[in-house]
Each structure stands twice: as structure tokens, then as C-alpha cells.
Amino acid sequence: MAKIALFPGTFDPPSLGHLDIIKKGGKLADRLIVAIATKPEKAKGALFNLNEKLEMLKAATQGFSNVEVTSFQGLAVDFAKEKKVSFFLRGLRAFSDFEAELQMALANRRLSGIETVFLLADEKYTHISSSLIREILYFNGPVKDFVPEAILPFLTKVKKPAQG
């Protein structure tokens, strides 16, 4: 049976760290589904809408033949069961990621029996986070060292969130 991996995340916006996890994770599975979680409470503070994130992720992963990009609503475990996923894929940066990731992986395993595989991105990407990129974009700073080249054109029309 084909091994299907699911990489769920917010990807607001996708970063070179995400792309590295996708590259590495794609080698561990026959198919890798990268799925944007659409949570209403997250959408409030989001810089990019779902459509923009889908377009950006598709552009960034264009050359990867076994990677598909989609979105889901609700629990990742329900989506994973529907897609007959073999394992979740997540990335770890620093120790600070560990606690939340552990909690989520344990909850997902309890709810579905599906394991989570954690990968480390290359050291040169460990300082990169979507929140850092959003902050730089907010002040019109350069983000080319932090995001896949393919998504740069999507970032030029960033609308600043309301001041406050």
C-alpha cells in the first residue's frame, strides 16, 4: 500500500524552513500531502488568505512530483483518516517547538493511532519562522533569504494589518 504523509500547518507564509521539511519528507513517503489548516481564530491574525497560501505553496513545490497541496477544515486527524494517511509530518526547530509539538503528536496518536514523524530542517533554516517573516514584511523589509524564491512575487502586494 502506498505510504501517504500529511504535513499540516498554517504556512502564513510558507518559508524556506517549511520547504526543506517538504523536500526531506517527500523522500520518506510515496505521496506527501501539504495541507493548510483553516482555523477561524487563526484567520483573524493572518496576513495571507487561504487562496494566497494555496497559490504560494503550489508555486514553491511545483517541481516536486509526489507533493500535493490542499487545505482542510476541522481536525487534522479526521482529514488524515479520510486521506488514509500513514503518518503526520512536522518540523522541529529549537527546543521551544518541542512541548507544543509533543502535545499535538500525542493527541493525534490518541485520536487516530497515526504517528508523527519529526524532521529537522537544515541548520541554516532553523531561525526562520513565519511570524518573523510577517514582522519583516510588515515593516517592508527584505525577506528573500527566508522564503522560497517562487513565492517572492506574491509578497509584493502585502497589505499591512491595521495599526494598533
Is the distance from CB of 14 to CB of 60 less than 8 angstroms? yes
Contact between 129 and ligand ADP by CB under 6 A: the answer reads yes
Is 110 a catalytic site residue? no
6 vs 87: CA distance, rounded Å: 6
Nearest to 19 by CA among 71, 74, 56: 56
The span of 44-52, 56-64, 79-87, 92-100 binding ligand ADP (CB under 6 A) equals 92-100
34 vs 36: CA distance, rounded Å: 7
Set 24, 93, 112, 129: catalytic member: 93
Report which residue type is found at 90: R
Q: Which is nearer to ligand ADP, 40 or 163 (CB)?
A: 40
Please list every residue from 94 through 123 that binds ligand ADP, using CB under 6 A: 97, 121
Is 109 a catalytic site residue? no
Set 3, 39, 42, 127: catalytic member: 42
Applying CB under 6 A, the residues found at the interface with ligand ADP are 9-11, 15, 17-18, 21, 90-93, 97, 121, 125-126, 128-130
